């Protein structure tokens, strides 16, 4: 094994002995990540070790406050901490938006020593962006194994209805008490599994990026993600029963996937086109004033949708590509701007600004096609490593996860559009980009027709 994973006597999860020749700098995570039963009781001693001071702002929503926030507050108060509670009260789902971020920001006092967030994705991200901006340490108490973002350094947020990503930092202390996390509802468990399943696609796209664009692929991060996937799929029944062992496995799979972000400093190992589709659905539903589907559930469904496209490409004869058709498929700058505005609406401009590399020149497109043709066998191998889609479908079904876009409230129009424009969300290379650059988009996405009127 090119890395070691173990726990110390405090139930602190440690990754060490990373051995990789990929050429990247591999950071050893400096965060204290605790996983185990009943460990919320130790929260004061975990924080004491850091010596930050005694004043903190606790961020929770009404649900997570009841699940663990109130208890964390009482435990810290009893240990001599001064806890100021910032409970974000919402009718439905908490959106990590300007209102939530503003509330947390205004709850801070000049002598606040650290922020304590109690929750899963939205709460952690809301607290994370504020902690990073004001330079305060953060302690995160996880309340659900629903996504891999606890260890992330990126904050997916909503700003004026548009999904944005802001740099943040990983919380210095993460406490995953299995006794707390296993009480989260089954749909959150299924969501966490969905988020992990997407890593199959992320890994394949990363390897394709290495083949086409000489991207550096980190073997150890690839291995960490593979181990997380395999352990998860081997233990679906344990996870389904929400046993201590099953939930711990899921928590570890999510934390380990997320730790690749700390190790190499980017999210390449954990997110690709399947995440783009999930973000797109979420963003577009918000623009339409409709409830946004949950992150992990969306990633599970989108993974299932893109999988057959990958498997079909495995049999594509790249040497027989119609080069004229491929060249004709390249959009001019004007055409691309028009397409992006059509597909992404109010979010189009910022996406184009951040991804200038997606305005492709003909010579670059031809280079990529030639590279794909020359190394077709390697691409085929990457896809052949993916198991049959039935493996992930079976896991999703057993957990009662949503299987179709319809179950997520995503209609055909949105689905069809998302399959065509997910590749345009960011420059990061994907098989979907390659399919488009080779002039094969109409053939591969014939089941997802676009009815553009412009």
| Binding footprint of Zn ion on the chain (CB under 5 A) | 20, 22, 24, 195, 218, 220
**How many helices (H) and strands (E) are present in the chain, helices listed first?**
22, 10
Written as six digits, the tokens of 183 are: 């009480």
> Min. distance of Cβ 265 from Zn ion in angstroms?
11
The length of the chain in residues reads 454
> Min. distance of Cβ 224 from Zn ion in angstroms?
10
Sign of CA pseudo-dihedral 39, 45, 51, 56: positive
> Min. distance of Cβ 368 from Zn ion in angstroms?
24
d(CA 197, CA 403): 13
Q: Of the candidates 137, 116, 10, which has an alpha carbon nearest to the alpha carbon of residue 68?
A: 116
Q: Of the candidates 444, 382, 158, 190, which has an alpha carbon nearest to the alpha carbon of residue 301?
A: 190
> Min. distance of Cβ 217 from Zn ion in angstroms?
8
d(CA 396, CA 124): 26
Kindly tell me which of 76 and 224 has the beta carbon lying closer to Zn ion.
224
d(CA 123, CA 101): 10
What is the per-residue burial (b if ≥16 Cβ within 10 Å, else e) of 178-190? bebbbebeebbbb
d(CA 424, CA 212): 17
Kindly tell me which of 36 and 156 has the beta carbon lying closer to Zn ion.
156
Q: Work out the widest C-alpha separation in the chain, in whole angstroms.
A: 73
Written as six digits, the tokens of 413 are: 């129009």
Kindly tell me which of 20 and 164 has the beta carbon lying closer to Zn ion.
20
> Min. distance of Cβ 10 from Zn ion in angstroms?
28
> Min. distance of Cβ 382 from Zn ion in angstroms?
17
Kindly tell me which of 64 and 191 has the beta carbon lying closer to Zn ion.
191
Kindly tell me which of 24 and 164 has the beta carbon lying closer to Zn ion.
24
Kindly tell me which of 31 and 276 has the beta carbon lying closer to Zn ion.
276
Kindly tell me which of 27 and 45 has the beta carbon lying closer to Zn ion.
27
> Min. distance of Cβ 168 from Zn ion in angstroms?
15
d(CA 208, CA 142): 34
> Min. distance of Cβ 195 from Zn ion in angstroms?
4
DSSP 148: S
Kindly tell me which of 27 and 413 has the beta carbon lying closer to Zn ion.
27
> Min. distance of Cβ 163 from Zn ion in angstroms?
13
- Please name the helix (run of DSSP H) or strand (run of DSSP E) that holds residue 88, with its range, or none: strand 82-88
User: Are the beta carbons of 272 and 209 closer than 8 angstroms?
Assistant: no
Kindly tell me which of 104 and 271 has the beta carbon lying closer to Zn ion.
271
Kindly tell me which of 190 and 218 has the beta carbon lying closer to Zn ion.
218
> Min. distance of Cβ 213 from Zn ion in angstroms?
17
> Min. distance of Cβ 397 from Zn ion in angstroms?
20
127 phi and psi angles, rounded to 5 deg? -70, -35
> Min. distance of Cβ 271 from Zn ion in angstroms?
6
What is the per-residue burial (b if ≥16 Cβ within 10 Å, else e) of 371-401? bbbebbeebeebbeebeebeebbebbeebeb
- Cβ atoms within 10 Å, residue 97: 17
Kindly tell me which of 199 and 242 has the beta carbon lying closer to Zn ion.
199
Kindly tell me which of 95 and 179 has the beta carbon lying closer to Zn ion.
95
CA distances from 249 to 234, 235, 346 (A): 10, 8, 40
What is the per-residue burial (b if ≥16 Cβ within 10 Å, else e) of 209-248? bbbbbebebbebbbbbbebbbeebbebbebbbebeeebbb
């Amino acid at each position: 094994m090119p890395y070691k994973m173990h726990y110390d006597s405090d139930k602190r999860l440690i990754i060490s002995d990373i051995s990789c020749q990929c050429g990247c700098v591999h950071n050893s995570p400096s965060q204290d990540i605790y996983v185990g039963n009943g460990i919320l009781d130790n929260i004061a001693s975990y924080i004491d070790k850091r010596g930050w001071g005694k004043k903190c702002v606790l961020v929770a929503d009404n649900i997570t406050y009841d699940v663990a926030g109130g208890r964390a507050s009482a435990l810290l108060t009893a240990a001599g901490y001064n806890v100021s509670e910032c409970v974000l009260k919402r009718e439905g789902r908490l959106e990590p938006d300007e209102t939530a971020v503003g509330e947390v920001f205004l709850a801070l006092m000049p002598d606040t020593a650290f922020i304590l967030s109690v929750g899963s994705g939205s709460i952690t991200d809301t607290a994370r962006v504020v902690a990073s901006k004001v330079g305060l340490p953060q302690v995160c108490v996880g309340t659900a194994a629903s996504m891999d973002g606890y260890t992330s350094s990126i904050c997916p947020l909503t700003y004026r209805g548009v999904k944005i990503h802001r740099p943040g930092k990983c919380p210095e202390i993460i406490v995953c008490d299995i006794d707390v996390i296993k009480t989260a509802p089954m749909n959150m468990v299924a969501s966490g599994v969905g988020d992990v399943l997407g890593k199959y696609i992320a890994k394949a796209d990363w390897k394709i990026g290495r083949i086409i664009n000489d991207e550096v692929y980190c073997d150890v991060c690839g291995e960490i993600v593979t181990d997380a996937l395999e352990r998860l799929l081997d233990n679906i029944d344990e996870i389904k029963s929400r046993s201590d062992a099953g939930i711990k496995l899921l928590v570890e799979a999510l934390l380990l996937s997320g730790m690749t972000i700390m190790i190499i400093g980017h999210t390449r190992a954990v997110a690709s086109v399947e995440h783009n589709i999930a973000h797109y659905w979420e963003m577009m539903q918000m623009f339409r004033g409709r409830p946004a589907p949950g992150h992990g559930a969306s990633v599970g469904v989108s993974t299932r949708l893109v999988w057959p496209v990958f498997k079909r490409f495995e049999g594509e004869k790249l040497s027989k590509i119609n080069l004229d058709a491929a060249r004709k498929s390249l959009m001019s700058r004007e055409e691309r701007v028009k397409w992006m505005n059509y597909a992404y609406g109010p979010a189009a401009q910022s996406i184009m600004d951040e991804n200038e590399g997606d305005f492709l020149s003909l010579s670059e497109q031809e280079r990529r096609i030639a590279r794909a043709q020359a190394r077709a066998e390697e691409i085929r191998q990457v896809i052949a490593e993916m198991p049959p889609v039935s493996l992930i479908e079976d896991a999703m079904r057993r957990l009662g996860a949503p299987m179709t876009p319809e179950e997520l409230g995503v209609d055909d129009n949105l689905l069809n559009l998302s399959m065509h424009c997910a590749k345009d969300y960011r420059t990061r290379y994907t098989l979907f980009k390659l399919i488009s650059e080779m002039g094969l988009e109409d053939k591969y996405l014939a089941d997802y027709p676009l009815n553009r009127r412009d």
